[in-house]
Amino acid sequence: MIKRIVKMSFKPESIEVFKTIFETNWQFIKGFDGCEHVELLQDENNPSIFFTYSLWQSEEHLNTYRNSELFNNVWAGTKILFNAKPEAWTVKQLLF
């Protein structure tokens, strides 16, 4: 199991557009083979900053999603809304 965190910063006028894109595609992402969980988080102090937090069965499953038509369509509509370069981390849990 791997955990993926992606930080995205949006133009203030694009926030609602992004939220609509995510809400429209959330169930499809969540239902993608190998995806165990996905959620959208918004920074408490800066509403332009969002994070996605997802759990994947393996790096291979994540990469299959990242190379899919679903990802390409979602990313094409999302990346034009950024006001900063997104950052992403694949992490493993050490203590729980």
pLDDT in tens, 4-24: 999 999 999 999 999 999 999
Give Cβ neighbours of residue 6 (< 8 Å, ≥ 6 apart).
51, 52, 86, 87, 88, 89
pTM: 0.92
Fold of the 2-91 domain: Alpha-Beta Plaits (3.30.70)
Report the alpha-carbon distance of residue 19 to residue 40 in Å, rounded: 9
Can you give the residue ranges of every domain in the chain? 2-91
pLDDT of residue 72: 97
For residue range 38-89, what is the model confidence (pLDDT) as tens digits? Answer: 999 999 999 999 999 999 999 999 999 999 999 999 999 999 999 999 999 9
Give Cβ neighbours of residue 81 (< 8 Å, ≥ 6 apart).
10, 11, 14, 17, 18
pLDDT of residue 36: 97
**How sure is the predictor about 95, in pLDDT bands with cuts at 50, 70 and 90?**
confident
Query: Is the distance from CB of 4 to CB of 56 less than 8 angstroms?
Result: yes
**How sure is the predictor about 96, in pLDDT bands with cuts at 50, 70 and 90?**
confident
